[in-house]
Amino acid sequence: MGSEVTESSVASAEAPKAAGAALAAVPRHVAIIMDGNGRWAKRRFLPRIEGHRNGAKSVRMVVEECRRLGIRYLTLFAFSTENWRRPQDEVGGLMSLFVQHLESELGLLLKNGIRLRAMGDTSRLPASVREMLARNEERTKDMTGMDLILAVSYGGRDELVQAARKLAEAARAGEVDPAAISGESFARHLYLPDVPDPDLMIRTSDETRISNFLLWQLAYAEIVVSPVLWPDFSRDEFHRCLNVFAGRNRRFGLTQEQVHGA
Ligand code: IPE
Ligand code: IPE
Ligand code: MG
């Protein structure tokens, strides 16, 4: 019952109520903090950008594997609002890699029926990245196999602040009664309101922080930490994480007896 989603989810999409036993353990939405690229490079006496470059094959693997397993949403944390403060050459190198991969992987997205969506403050990105993201979003907008969400220039606090701002403006305009604001109506002002909350959040490289990722949406996500550095994150390790998730007991604030109807 690992992937069961209860009424406590504020996401608008409904969970399949009677998923078969074999499918019940497959999360509907997996979110990943792809961490450890710098350490991977450092261990090899390589520049940090080589770690980022080598992370690309792990991205391809998880995308293909999620599509194959029927995981409907995959969110990848590629660049945080805090990452803008890294050395300029690393930021520039990452931006070039984004352009390069968005360019080269469009075919893979189309072939596999995957819709690409960006999430974050894209106005801060260089025009080349913004345009490539917009091109891929437009070209894949009718794909229904899976949503691949790239969190770029993304910060959870930024997302909550912009939602609060939109609601405050609507209240000032008399369109919203502040007393009527609910969790559900608040969530409608997040970046991608139609996307259900992640069931499973994986972070690689043994770090146990959230680092400003999906602060609202992770409320009831199962967190699995992998010791593996992102460029070494393999299919086997991904499956291990999925199996850990499948063995978890999600209670959403209820008692064990309530969840299992005992
Ligand atoms: C994650 O790897 C990628 C980004 C944050 C862009 P890091 O670059 O954070 O790698 P470490 O944590 O320094 O090893
Ligand atoms: C989080 O990793 C951001 C991404 C993976 C894109 P960081 O490496 O930036 O996080 P901290 O600094 O270790 O918390
Ligand atoms: Mg890191």
The confidence score (pLDDT) of residue 262 equals: 63
Contact predicate 252/220, CB 8 Å? yes
pLDDT at residue 43 above 80?
A: yes
Q: How confident is the model at residue 7 (pLDDT cuts 50, 70, 90)?
A: very low
- DSSP letter (8 states) at residue 223: E
Check if 77 has its Cβ closer than 6 Å to any atom of ligand 2. Answer: yes
Q: How many helices and strands, by DSSP H and E, does the chain display?
A: 9, 6
* Pairwise pLDDT comparison (152 vs 11), residue with the higher score: 152
Q: Which of 32, 34, 35 to mutate to test the pocket of ligand 1 (most atoms within 8 A of CB)?
A: 35
- Beta-bridge partners for 202: 32, 224
More confident residue, 18 or 63: 63
Active site residues: 35, 83
The pLDDT > 70 percentage for the chain reads: 90
Q: How far is the CA of 1 from the centre of ligand 2 (A)?
A: 31
Number of Cβ within a 10 Å radius of residue 71: 22
- For residue range 140-195, what is the model confidence (pLDDT) as tens digits? 999 999 999 999 999 999 999 999 999 999 999 999 999 999 999 999 999 999 99
pLDDT of 17 strictly over 70: no
